[in-house]
Amino acid sequence: MLVEELMNRNMITLPPKATINEALQLLEKHKIRHITIVDEAMQVLGIVSDRDVRDASPSTFLDTSDFHILNKEIQTIMTSPVITIHPMDFVEEIAYIFYDKEIACLPVVSQNKLVGVVTEKDMLYKLIQLTGTHEQSSLIEVKVPDLPGQLPKVASVFVNHNVNIVSVLLYPYKDPDYKILVFRVKTLNPMPIINDLRDAGYTLLWPNNIMEPKK
């Protein structure tokens, strides 16, 4: 998936000479956590978070004369330079930037101009969509040898039951000779599939592979 499919094109921006108070009002009005600072050509100059604004704002317990701080220019507290991404970057790759740099917002730049933003909340929501956890479904984890052709073999069991697969994930296993296939399937009664997988000799990690004792 590309960044252009995920990014928010309704950007909230401010010029560098805007005041801290203006930023504070925008953050509260739009219920956002970041404002990108741009020049007249929409080139990214910096970024300001709600924490930056909060830290720069005077305490309500101080004398009212201290509130002149809110009239300072936003460029005095913005973070610059800014890490930016491109609309044609892969979402999977920018996820690592969020993690590695410990940031919560990335401006999207094309031809030197701001065209969108992506936040960590956007990334989290997309992960929810990709894994299908927002749909009514069942989860099945299957341990398979790390060999070619395992995915279609396991998936054929779901096909035999005429059940749609919502998502498939591949995880490493503690033993490098194996992988974990995680299926989310569109059924609330996965037991017939689970039984067939067990009968085919597959080890299930969820539901666990312990069979119920015979009566």
pLDDT in tens, 61-87: 455 545 678 899 999 999 999 999 999
Tell me, rounded to whole angstroms, the distance of Cα 138 from its chain centroid.
22
Record the pTM. 0.80
Show the domain range for 19.
Answer: 3-128
Does residue 212 fall inside a structural domain? no
Q: Where are the alpha helices (DSSP H) in 71-166?
A: 91-101, 120-131, 150-160
| Residues 61 and 113 both lie in one domain | yes
CA-to-CA dists, residue 8 to 96, 97, 115, 154, angstroms: 19, 18, 9, 37
Q: What is the CATH number of the domain that holds 113?
A: 3.10.580.10
pLDDT digits (tens, 9 = 90+) for 134-173: 888 999 999 999 999 999 999 999 999 999 999 999 999 9
Q: Looking at 128, 153, 188, which one is the last position of a domain?
A: 128
Res 209 pLDDT > 80: no
| Residues 140 and 76 both lie in one domain | no
- Higher pLDDT: 3 or 66? It is 3
Q: How confident is the model at residue 198 (pLDDT cuts 50, 70, 90)?
A: very high
Place of tokens 């010029």: 15
Q: Looking at 128, 161, 186, which one is the last position of a domain?
A: 128
| Residues 143 and 199 both lie in one domain | yes
Range 46-69 burial, b when 16+ CB lie within 10 A, else e: bbbbbebbeebbeeeeeeeeeeee
